[in-house]
Amino acid sequence: MKKKIFSGVQPTGNLHLGNYLGAIKNFVSLNNDDENECIFCVVDLHAITVSQDPAILRENIHETVATFIASGIDPKKSIIFNQSRVSAHSEAAWILSCIARMGWLNRMTQFKEKAGKDKEKASVGLYSYPILMAADILLYDTTYVPVGNDQKQHLELCRDIAQKFNNDFKVENFFKVPEPLIQKEFSRIMSLKDGSKKMSKSESSDLSRINLTDEKDQIINKIKKAKTDSLPIPSSLIELNNRPEARNLIGIYSSLANSTLESSIQNFSGKNFSEFKKDLSEILIDKISPISDEIKRLLNEKSYLNKILEDGYKKADNIASKKIKKIHDIVGF
């Protein structure tokens, strides 16, 4: 039996190094393993939980597909589609919202962060967003969900929803209870300006992140301006642990070099940050620029991107429409 892999990325623009190292790089290696059946979804329904300009959203959907392909996901091997095309996602989300409990959702920290101080003004969609995410995953009998660390709590909620549905309707194993796939290291890339905040699309300062579409000189400039401390690079992990900015930059280097923090520390120990930053910029340009060039090239080939989405839609809809029929049956419709 092949392992079923499902993950989603929001088409909200500014895909950055955190998305790449925390999630997309992992998607590529899963795609390359013939033991896996992979589905990568552009979650446009999730994107509208905060307000979006329709023309920009349309462009960002293409950009997300282009980023998947440019990073190395093969659309012949993996299903790539956009969520809103497959109506089973919205339908299943409603049914599962009658299974999930208010108390469970009230614990979601991402909602609290995203809604900020004025929760009364947040959309209802932003609140119930993890239920839609559970629908995405459960419709495809997913075994593994590769995500960054920030999605761990949503995955736990998805597991709770699956188990409650199976128990309530006495349909053992109807929904497969999925496992998160979170990389042990580098699953949380931090802002270049503040090592205590995660790198994010929504952070106002562009200097806080490396976008996957940044030009070489932008990368060099952002790394030059990235926050560090005045000490040289230490010789042990323990010394690095209470220096969040230093740890983050060395983590980024290690992840790009496919090496460990330990071996990077050995390489750079005793050097100062200006020297290290040159090597970091170099490896970033080496790994990110080809992706960036390919994204830009693909964005001029809209018909190719649309064809990928169309093929993906047919394959995904074929799976999801069967599952939603069974859900209707179980619920008593």
Q: Tokens 């109506």 — which residue?
A: 87
Q: Which is nearer to ligand AMP, 198 or 277 (CB)?
A: 198
Please say if 114 is a catalytic residue: yes
CA 19 to chain centre: 5
CA-based nearest residue to 13, from 303, 312, 305, 299? 299
Instruction: Convert residues 156-195 into a mask of x (bound to ligand AMP by CB under 6 A) and - (unbound).
Output: -------------------------------xxx------
Q: Which class for 148: exposed (0-12), middle (13-18), buried (19 or more C-beta within 10 A)?
A: buried
48 phi and psi, to 5 degrees? Answer: -80, 10
Give the chain's end-to-end CA distance (angstroms, integer): 32
136, interface contact from ligand TRP, ligand AMP, none, CB < 5-8 Å by kind: ligand TRP
Instruction: Convert residues 34-73 into a mask of x (bound to ligand AMP by CB under 6 A) and - (unbound).
Output: ----------------------------------------
Q: Tokens 């520390």 — which residue?
A: 265
Helix axes 54-71, 302-331, angle to 10 degrees: 100
Tokens representing 201?
């699309």
CA-based nearest residue to 129, from 91, 107, 101, 97? 97
Q: Which helix (H) or strand (E) holds 7?
A: strand 3-9
Please say if 323 is a catalytic residue: no
Query: How many Å apart are CA 76 and CA 68, to the nearest integer?
Result: 13
For residue 142, count other CB atoms closer than 10 A to its CB: 23
Stretch that binds ligand AMP, among 95-103, 143-151, 270-278, 292-300 (CB under 6 A): 143-151
Please say if 222 is a catalytic residue: no
Site for ligand AMP in 196-255 (CB under 6 A): 198-199, 201
Interaction of residue 49 with ligand TRP, rule CB under 6 A: no
203, interface contact from ligand AMP, ligand TRP, none, CB < 5-8 Å by kind: none
Q: Smallest distance, Å, CB 300 to ligand AMP?
A: 24
One residue of 6, 13, 19, 62 binding ligand AMP per CB under 6 A: 19
Q: Smallest distance, Å, CB 232 to ligand TRP?
A: 36
Catalytic residue (choose from 4, 25, 198, 277): 198
Task: Report the residue closest to ligand AMP, judged by CB.
Answer: 22
Which residues participate in catalysis according to the annotation? Answer: 114, 198, 201
Residues of this chain that bind ligand TRP (CB under 6 A): 6-8, 10, 43, 46, 133, 136-137, 145, 147, 151, 154
